[in-house]
Amino acid sequence: MAKDVLCAVNSCTYWEEENRCKAESIFVAYHAAKQPTEPEETDCKTFKKK
């Protein structure tokens, strides 16, 4: 499990109580044409629907 990683997306398989993420690793990518400068410009590629 990833240590001290929080996630509020409770529709994800890796979500646990208290917004804990139980994925072994996390992959975050960007969805804009340039490197992100704001959190909203990133995407979690680790998400897996429950």
Residue that the structure tokens 């590629």 belong to: 45
Contact in structure between 3 and 20 (CB atoms under 8 Å): no
Q: What is the pLDDT of residue 47?
A: 87
Digits of tens for pLDDT over the chain (50 positions)? 556 899 999 999 999 999 999 998 999 888 777 888 888 888 888 888 88
Q: What is the pLDDT of residue 13?
A: 93
Query: What CA–CA distance (Å, rounded) separates 21 from 7?
Result: 6
Name the pTM for this structure.
0.71
Task: Using a pLDDT cut of 90, give the percent of the chain over it.
Answer: 36
Q: What is the pLDDT of residue 42?
A: 85
**DSSP helix/strand/coil, 13:** coil
Map out the domains of the chain as residue ranges: 1-50
